[in-house]
Amino acid sequence: MDLDILNSWLTQNNLPKYRFSQISKNYFSAKYLKFDEMTDLPKTLRTQLDQNIKLLSVKEENLISSPHTQKALLRLFDNKLIETVLMDYGDWLTACISSQVGCPLGCTFCATGKMGFSRNLTSEEIIDQIIYWNQKLYPKYIGRLVFMGMGEPFLNWDNLLNSLDTINNKNGLNIGARKISISTAGIADKIIQFADLKTQINLAVSLHSANQQNRQKIMPIAKKYPLEELKKASQYFTQTTNRQIFFEYTLIDGFNDSAKDIEDLKDFFSNNHLFYLNLIPLNPIKGGLVPSSASSIKHFTQLLDRTNINYSIRRSFGQSIGAACGQLATQHLG
């Protein structure tokens, strides 16, 4: 819901200021699917709100499920489509949020990148993906957020920051900063700006190769922000925040899973103990690259064990329904 529009409408209709706080609280609670269910409001006001204000800026078009994962296709006001994913880790629920309709970066291993770019999401459309899931989960709530859905968050900077203010605010969605992660393809100047915000929000960077020529083959943005610039920005982040930065590394058969790639990683990491490597199995997409074999991954991790690089292998959810990392492409499935 656009709270500015709500506030203007209430003011134009000479309604008391406390109604804004009352309605906002109801909205963020995700308890109500429509204004008419907000029985703490007068019936006439509920009717007027239903007629004049959209409670959610997104509308469910399709919902599919697999064990531990749900993927929703959501329609926006201009009929554009986005996807958002819910992952159940047992002890907590995580939502994977989109920041753009499509993506302008064209990474070869990512289905969203093959869609092209349409537009940025508004801050309301970002927030309403979370409200959408919370409505389905009520009385449970999303406990953690990852901005790893469709789009490059740092290329939607203003709307990203506006949404984070509401997400993190105790009078908004009240999700703690340390339970929020933002993933960027390596927009170096924005990494520096993000560091200067001194936030506790986690930062992840899509690395996928520590060799400049190889990286720009699969990530065209690497030509604009080369590895050396990315490394300096990442070092600035750790020095400024004293927080870890997570480097995502999708293992691709015969491309980035060799002993030479380990040496490139060692050079990039340069013994920075706050650099952390997340190994990700490549999730298949139509016409995509080939994932490393189990034996290649085992050999790669054995070589990593001989270095001082801290790493882990990420669990992958939702591959069978096209909901895993790199698979979001607004498909009608189910």
226 prior amide bond cis, ω within 30: no
Contact in structure between 322 and 68 (CB atoms under 8 Å): no
Other residues' Cβ atoms within 10 Å of the Cβ of residue 253: 14
Residues 223, 227, 229: CA angle, nearest 5 degrees: 90
> Residues of 60-74 as b/e, b for ≥16 C-beta within 10 angstroms?
ebbebeeeebbbbbb
How far apart are the C-alpha atoms of 323 and 84, rounded to whole Å? 8
Active site residues: 83, 325
91: DSSP letter: S
The distance in angstroms from the start CA to the end CA of the chain is 28
Residue of 299, 283, 208 lying closest to 249 (CA atoms): 208
Residue 287 three-state SS: coil
Q: What are phi and psi of 29, to 5 degrees?
A: -70, -25
